[in-house]
Every structure is written in structure tokens, then in C-alpha cells.
Amino acid sequence: MNFVSPEMVLYLLLTGSVVGFLSGLLGIGGGVIIIPTLLWLLSGCGVDDQVLTHVVFGTSLAVGTGTALSGSTAHRKRVKISKDIVLLLALGSITGAQIGGYAAHLLSGKILQIGFGILLLLISYFLLRPVNNGHDPASMLSGKLVLVGVGLIVGSVAAVMGTGGAILCTTILVLFLKCPMHRTVGITASMMVFTAASGALSYIFNGWDLPNLPPYSLGYVNLYLMLALVTTSTMTAKLGVRLAHRLDPKPLQQALGIFLLIIATKILTSNLLS
């Protein structure tokens, strides 16, 4: 399949639709779908193996910026989101994403894929064993340094892995800080706008002027792939948010958890046994 072809565009538009819907419905980063799909698509398009994984991760973060912005806007219409919490998390995550983006630039594609496979295992566990909704303690805002620290960790992981920041942030807020799930999804989406944008900029900067990048690349971020994915993901994210406030997402969470477990197993075995 050619890098620029009607068939490729169709695959990207469909992938973007799924990514946006799941991001809005479950509060997970779209990268868990984008990354394995792009790794599969680009491996047959002649993209240099030395930059393939980095381009996929950087593009995933760029797409995540648009998807998170769409989901965050839709959530703010339905749930009150604390700007203080979002800004404190964003302060740490912006810094963490810069650190993570530079670290990813220094690592090989194989190591990044192994790390991504391990991350998918953790995400699938969370989806198959979702934590109970917590309460919303008045003391949550008192731990400002804690929230900045959470953001730093989330941003670093998201940039190194090209995704995972949303699910990690959701897990920490619900499990440890006892924030209600519906409110947490909105907070996470708002924070990930800053995290993904910072991570994408780091990938652009660290991949700047490399000679073996695919066409239409800005550093490690490929504009062609990004635009095709964002076109549909930003629209379906709003649909996912709508359904998130009406439906029980547990069955879909479990189905997605099983799917990610299968993908994680395939990625890890192909990299560890090769």
C-alpha cells in the first residue's frame, strides 16, 4: 500500500473515528488505537525502520491534542471542571512531556515498542478491573505539589510512549485522589490538551531536519497522517462524550481491555522474540 493513496486515507479516517469515540466515551488517550494501527500501516509503506516508531508516537501526540480539545470542550458543557486542578496538572505535564520527548528521541524504536506493549498491558488491566468511583474531597486542591507531580509523571509517560497519559491520569485521580469518574474524564481531557501539545512539539524539535523522514513530516510529526486522523476524531469525540453521560461504559471497557491485551501480547512477542 502506498503512503499516500485513497486506501490509506480511508484507513486513517476510520481509525480517527474509533479513536475519537473511545476517547470521549472512556477518557482514554487515542494513542492506544492509533499507535498499533499506524505501526501496521506504515510498516508496509517503505518508511525507514529507524524513524518509523518515533513518527508514529509523535503523530499520535499531535492527533491527541485535537481529540483532547474536542472532548474537553464537550465535557465542560456537562460537568463543572476545576480550572485550578487542570492548570496544576498541566504545569507538571508540560514539563514532563518535554523530558519524555527528548528521552524517546534517544531510545531505539524497538525499546519504545516494548515499553508501549507493557503500557498496553497495564491499560488493559485497568479496563478489565476498573476502579470504583470515588468521592470529591474538599481537600483535593490542598495538595498542589502533589498535582504538579502527578502531571510531571503523566506528561513524561505520555511523551515517551506516545500515549497513555490520559489513562494514567484517570487512574491516579480516581484511585488515589478519589475524584468521581465523570468529573475525572473531563479533567483528564482538559489536561491532555497541554500534555499532548507539549509532547508533539518536543517530537517536532527533536526530529527536525532528519533526512529519512516520510513525506509531509515536521520533525517526527507527520502532517498528512495527523490531518487525516484529526478530521474524524474531533467529530466522534463529541459523540463519545454524549454517550458517556447516558450509558454504562463498563461492557465497552472490558471489550477494549481484551482487545488491548491481544495487541500488547503481539507487540511484545514480536519484539522480544525477534
pLDDT in tens, 9-20: 999 999 999 888
In a domain, 163, yes or no: yes
In a domain, 14, yes or no: yes
Number of domains in the chain: 1
Q: Is 5's pLDDT higher than 80?
A: yes
In a domain, 57, yes or no: yes
Given this model, what pLDDT does residue 164 score? 65
Which range, 90-94, 145-149, 174-178, 259-263, is most confident? 90-94
**Segments forming the whole domain that contains residue 47:** 10-272
Given this model, what pLDDT does residue 69 score? 82
Q: Are 11 and 178 in contact (CB under 8 A)?
A: no
Under DSSP, the state recorded for 213 is P
Q: Is 110's pLDDT higher than 80?
A: yes
In the chain, % of residues over pLDDT 70? 90
In a domain, 2, yes or no: no
Cα–Cα dist 60/62, whole Å? 5
Q: How confident is the model at residue 128 (pLDDT cuts 50, 70, 90)?
A: confident
Q: How confident is the model at residue 189 (pLDDT cuts 50, 70, 90)?
A: confident
In a domain, 3, yes or no: no
Given this model, what pLDDT does residue 170 score? 77
In a domain, 1, yes or no: no
Q: Using alpha carbons, select from 230, 211, 208, 228 the residue that is nearest to residue 219.
A: 208
Given this model, what pLDDT does residue 3 score? 84
The strand pairing partners of 191, in sequence order, are none
Q: Is 261's pLDDT higher than 80?
A: yes
In order of 94, 154, 220, 244, 251, the CA distances from 128 in angstroms are 30, 21, 33, 18, 9
Q: Are 218 and 200 in contact (CB under 8 A)?
A: no
Q: Using alpha carbons, select from 68, 67, 18, 66 the residue that is nearest to residue 38.
A: 18
In a domain, 17, yes or no: yes
In a domain, 117, yes or no: yes
Cα–Cα dist 218/78, whole Å? 36
Q: Are 52 and 43 in contact (CB under 8 A)?
A: yes
Q: How confident is the model at residue 4 (pLDDT cuts 50, 70, 90)?
A: confident
